[in-house]
Amino acid sequence: QKEVEQNSGPLSVPEGAIASLNCTYSDRGSQSFFWYRQYSGKSPELIMFIYSNGDKEDGRFTAQLNKASQYVSLLIRDSQPSDSATYLCAVNMYSGGGADGLTFGKGTHLIIQP
């Protein structure tokens, strides 16, 4: 059974600092990895995806993947109060985005303190 684990938080970070969110997964067959942001009462929205070991940067966001350790992380640089949300880690078995659905972690609640 696929499992995705995240620390539920809350994770409190001062404005302007780096927020580091972590996720581990149980299925070694997992191929692609996603970070979704979900504001309270809203639907999830994709922030980043990664499928190769190493780092992937997009603006203030960096996703990091280590398949040997079954670990994926999201770094948010220059954190802003608008980054306060729940961040969901998700995994998929297929590298091409996925012929199947995603397995989600329960999310980490991030609070950026002004």
Partner 1 sequence: DAGVIQSPRHEVTEMGQEVTLRCKPISGHNSLFWYRQTMMRGLELLIYFNNNVPIDDSGMPEDRFSAKMPNASFSTLKIQPSEPRDSAVYFCASRGGASSYEQYFGPGTRLTVT
- Quick one: 44 or 73, whose CB is closer to partner 1? 44
46 binds partner 1 (CB under 8 A): yes
> Which residues between 48 and 77 bind partner 1 (CB under 8 A)?
49
Rounded to an integer, what distance in angstroms lies between the CA atom of residue 67 and that of residue 23?
A: 12
Q: Which stretch binds partner 1 (CB under 8 A): 16-24, 59-67, 74-82, 94-102?
A: 94-102
Q: Is the bond preceding residue 10 a cis peptide, omega within 30 degrees? A: yes
The answer to whether residues 25 and 70 touch, using CB atoms and an 8 Å cutoff, is: yes
What is the gyration radius of the CA atoms in the chain, in angstroms?
13
In the list 65, 103, 108, 112, the residue contacting partner 1 (rule: CB under 8 A) is 103
